[in-house]
Chain A
């Protein structure tokens, strides 16, 4: 039965349908893996009893012929999604012990589709980070190891680090992630799995703890392009409770995987070759271009001239929004409260104790850039640049159908390679942030291994609401890459 954890979602779905095993068996196999890999610290809380109950109910639905699109498939939920009756923390001390009385739209839709949740997955605190080291509940360890130094612990990337590690380590078949500036794609790349940030507005944000509202977007993380397509189908759709969700029916993404990309034009942006980009990453990128050519697509060099401003712009807009979004964590109604003699003292003590250093840093930056006298120079200007970045993409998509870039400038780095400079850490998202700023769909898939045996990812960027083309091209690349490597212990 151990091979149950190596199946893809699609395979497990079909085998469950054929009755080759039950949802309970599939869930038990994953619960065992979850226990065995507990040292990775991928979960903030595990909910095995609930999972088994859900699996039993799934088997009953299957017998009754009412099984949904993801019925009986064990997944994990990033602990940024509010889950009814199950602690939801955003990996922050300030929300420790908080049990929502409501279920986020996306996790609710997955439940509705029959998916079985094994627990809540670790992340960077409030999804702010690229290493998963900012979690109050401890860092997550990447299941992959360097061949040169198998003892060194590596980061899984962030902020959806728990999701990526759990999927890569076969603890769950898939997981939800959220992506604000790369939080699905960069950890997917670091952990050798596939993840897509859909178009902004494709998935409801209702019930997802907000970081930066104009950028946050939920998406699936799984071990194949098809699995992402299946899961996104279950997550996506209009939600009247989210004013920014788009009133558009989600297509059958799986149907887009035709394998035929002949005649498609693939943009290769010349601005995505910054100094210090590793040769390995460049090589993987070039290999990717070759695969697409071989499949009948045409690479086209394009220019996205405002790319160089994207990172700076992002680190104005995202902190600005977060400084306001996180104001509600004030110790009054839920979560942590540290008493004080006055209201202001209680606020200060609660928030000082409740938020970690990275969250505090971003709140401070955000408060500053919105302040009187600075707003125009920072926030207003950043919004203008953001429009220019989106305009770059719009123009590019007049001539190309999809854009191919690396996902991250490096492979996963060491957990103990302490980096005191937050800006260097922020550079991890240099390739993913422009897509977020423009609200476009971006998918990362594993394309090869570094010389040190670590996965490297490539990113495909599509037109707004054209996840189908992204999936189609990704499917072809996946076949060409034939990425079969697995992390240690799988």
Chain B
């Protein structure tokens, strides 16, 4: 369903391209041996290279190259065996070298693609323009002194992958799906933890609008450093509306960099193109072109894990899941693994219903994460087994599950402790049925007169009198026979 904004002069569509800065998972920085731990004391993870002391030189960290290639392969992208590091020159207090080592016209990864999983189960392919490696800057802290700024260089030199999409996204929702999917792939690959709060994944959004049906691209604005998916969507929505308002009142949009104010939910100008930096890119003479072997790429490819798209396809084929369920389960590798543990040797659809239903609800209710779940996959599987072997009815199983969440105990233990075993003893069920029939002769008559819907009421009464333990199927069958003869 196309996302259309109705303006006063007609319908508009949004054109969005996203630039994501993903911090590479590696123990050391891109060009120095300094550590990369988040949250360390300020300026404790800084080498002479990171502080740009005189005469210091960068040396590429091979792990970061490997991670970039791995990510490129995960995005089904072209891997460039020769790439070049360039200097992006600008002055800022948290940029010690006075330039950022980045890649300009020869990035390590070229064009690729990413598949969006839409809520209706369909998919849409978005182009990836490129991925390149670059250094992060340090951090300026402006609120610790009335007139001075503090600089923390811990982050200076940490490896980032800048992943640039083509301008293929058409709605805030798609932008959100893109980020969710990208984060999912990065986490599967183990190349970025995708944590937007800690800033290890940051997003710049390039937004423009055009009348529906138009094919040319209009002037775009870049909204910098938005730190949550929700904010990215809000920023895009605001920015698109702003463009339309400007166009419809006869104005023009200037190409500029804007900031998103999440408090006011609006974007505002940071610097215009006229004040844009001239970065004076040129190949970094301290570094030779980065040349990697095809065998290096092949080795990484051979070690790639099963990625979300493939896993989703397999879940649909192997387990007969629908696209939506499969998409939800594979979004995180750990939830996919959880599901597979539960489903192994059991009915996959029942397993899926339990994981997607009661289990996810329990995660929400308890505020726990799947890494530290309230009920283990093994216990959930055991619970399903108890249903299958008749120990528990579906209804009893829900009660047992609730107790499992509450106590953390295994289902078999709870069944014993609480005596929740399903009653399948014909005599006991018959006695319960007889008691209910005897107490309600008028209702029996009504059923016999044709009001068969009342049978359900009888079932309820029997279940009630057996504290829910009677096997519902047996109750149904025996009741019908007894009442209707």
**Which A residues fall within an 8 A CB radius of B?**
81-82, 88, 90, 95, 98, 100-102, 104, 205-210, 212-214, 240-244, 320-321, 323-324, 326-328, 330, 332-334, 343-344, 347, 367, 370-372, 375, 379
Contact = CB atoms under 8 A, between A and B. Distances in A.
A243 B286 CA distance: 7
Contacts of A327: 89, 91, 97-99
Given A242-B57, A324-B280, A370 B89 contact: yes
Contacts, number: 99
Interface stretch (B4-12, B48-56, B74-82, B236-244): B48-56
Contact of B287 (A206, A208, A243): A243
A207 B282 contact: no
B151 interface: yes
A98 B54 contact: yes
Contact of B60 (A88, A243, A372): A243
15 contacts: A81-B55, A82-B55, A90-B54, A101-B53, A104-B55, A206-B55, A208-B55, A241-B59, A242-B59, A327-B97, A328-B52, A328-B96, A332-B151, A333-B51, A370-B282
Given A330-B98, A370-B282, A371-B278, A243 B58 contact: yes
Given A243-B58, A347-B91, A213 B286 contact: yes
Given A212-B285, A332-B151, A371-B278, A243 B57 contact: yes
B87 interface: yes
Contacts of B89: 323-324, 327, 370
A131 B56 CA distance: 27
A333 B96 contact: yes
Contacts of B54: 82, 88, 90, 95, 98, 100, 209-210, 328, 334
B288 interface: yes
B59 A240 contact: yes
Contacts of A205: 55, 57
A428 B83 CA distance: 37
Nearest to A371: B278
Nearest to A347: B91
B56 A244 contact: no
A101 B93 CA distance: 22
Nearest to A98: B54
A330 B282 contact: no
Given A324-B87, A324-B99, A375 B282 contact: yes
Given A327-B97, A328-B96, A102 B282 contact: no
Contacts of B57: 205-206, 241-243
A58 B177 CA distance: 69
Given A243-B288, A328-B54, A101 B48 contact: yes
A372 B277 CA distance: 10
A243 B59 contact: yes
B93 A343 contact: yes
A422 B53 CA distance: 30
A120 to B, nearest CB: 13
A206 B58 CA distance: 9
Nearest to A214: B285
A334 B46 CA distance: 15
A88 B54 CA distance: 9
A320 B282 contact: yes
B98 A324 contact: yes
B152 to A, nearest CB: 13
A375 B285 CA distance: 16
Nearest to B280: A370
A212 B98 CA distance: 15
B324 to A, nearest CB: 48
A244 B278 CA distance: 27
Interface of B: 48, 51-60, 87, 89, 91-93, 96-99, 149, 151, 278, 280-282, 285-288
Contacts of B287: 243-244
| Interface pairs A-B: 3 shortest CB-CB | A327-B98, A213-B285, A370-B280
Nearest to B90: A327
Given A104-B55, A330-B91, 6 more contacts: A205-B55, A242-B57, A243-B287, A244-B288, A324-B282, A327-B89
A288 B443 CA distance: 129
Contacts of B93: 332, 343
Contacts of B278: 371-372
B53 A102 contact: yes
B157 to A, nearest CB: 13
A100 B149 CA distance: 25
A181 to B, nearest CB: 14
Contacts of A90: 54
A394 to B, nearest CB: 19
A209 B57 CA distance: 10
Contacts of B151: 332
B457 to A, nearest CB: 79
A101 B282 CA distance: 30
B412 to A, nearest CB: 60
Nearest to A332: B93
Contacts of A323: 89, 280
Contacts of B285: 212-214, 244, 321
Nearest to A341: B147
Contacts of A242: 57, 59
Contact of A328 (B98, B281, B282, B286): B98
B284 to A, nearest CB: 8
B280 A367 contact: yes
Contacts of B99: 324, 327
A101 B99 CA distance: 23
A343 B87 CA distance: 22
User: Among the interface residues B53, B87, B89, which one has the most CB atoms of the partner chain A within 10 A?
Assistant: B53
A330 B53 CA distance: 11
B48 A333 contact: no
A347 B97 CA distance: 13
Which interface residue of A82, A90, A101, A327 has the most chain B CB atoms within 10 A? A327
A310 B334 CA distance: 61
B90 to A, nearest CB: 9
Contacts of A243: 57-60, 286-288
B292 to A, nearest CB: 15
A371 B281 CA distance: 8
A206 B56 contact: yes
A450 to B, nearest CB: 37
Nearest to B277: A372
A95 B57 CA distance: 18
Nearest to B33: A241
A95 B55 CA distance: 12
Nearest to A92: B54
Contacts of B92: 343
A242 B285 CA distance: 11
| Max count, chain A CB within 10 A of own CB: residue among B55, B96, B287 | B55
A207 B99 CA distance: 19
B43 to A, nearest CB: 10
Contacts of B96: 328, 332-333
Contacts of A241: 57, 59
A417 B54 CA distance: 33
Contacts of B59: 240-243
A102 B47 CA distance: 11
Nearest to B98: A327
A334 B281 CA distance: 26
Contacts of A328: 52, 54, 96-98
B167 to A, nearest CB: 23
Nearest to B287: A243
Contacts of B53: 82, 100-102, 333-334
A209 B93 CA distance: 21
A244 B286 contact: yes
A379 B287 CA distance: 18
A321 B87 CA distance: 10
A323 B58 CA distance: 18
A154 to B, nearest CB: 31
A266 B31 CA distance: 43
A332 B149 CA distance: 11
Given A244-B286, A332-B96, A210 B55 contact: yes
